[in-house]
Amino acid sequence: MPADAIVNAAHHALRGGGGVDGAIHRAGGPEILAELIERYPNGTPTGTAVWTTAGALPATYVIHVVGPNYNAGQRDPALLESCYRNALRIADELGVHTMTLPAVSAGIYGWPAQSAADIAVRTLRRTPTNVTKGTFCLVEPRLYKAFRNATAAGE
């Protein structure tokens, strides 16, 4: 889906992987990984975000966020919130107005779907930003339902 930036749910090592991260690296090409290795040789901590160019993706940038691993005991909602806040901060620094986002931590990291959706939607709605359109790209029906519920809640 074309956008100024694509948000990637990345592993803290920033070296590609499975799920959203693997799909972004496969579609974007080796330039993304090469840039990550050069710019972030030690990765980045949970809750933070970094950026690269987008390689062959239909975007200018990829904003890589490291979500908390719920299955490994990282269950502080503030860590998940900070992923979205930091993605928006970087988007503003880069002049991004449109972005696509995944359900950070709600896949293999095991964050409960409705909680992940509520945190994501609430954080995007409450964080001041110049981003005018954020589109969640969700491939699992359970995530689509959770995000539909969260966006309908309307805060």
Domain architecture of the chain: domains with CATH:
5-153 (3.40.220.10)
Degrees, nearest 5: CA angle 67-25-14: 40
- Tell me if residue 76 is catalytic: no
Say which of 21, 76, 92, 118 is annotated catalytic: 21
The answer to whether residues 45 and 66 touch, using CB atoms and an 8 Å cutoff, is: yes
pTM for the full model?
0.97
Predicted confidence pLDDT, tens digits, the chain (155 residues): 899 999 999 999 999 988 899 999 999 999 999 999 999 999 999 999 999 999 999 999 999 999 999 999 999 999 999 999 999 999 999 999 999 999 999 999 999 999 999 999 999 999 999 999 999 999 899 999 999 999 998 65
Q: What is the pLDDT at residue 153?
A: 84
The distance from CA 99 to its chain's CA centroid, rounded to whole angstroms, is 10
Q: What is the pLDDT at residue 102?
A: 97
Burial class (CB in 10 A: 0-12, 13-18, 19+), 80: buried
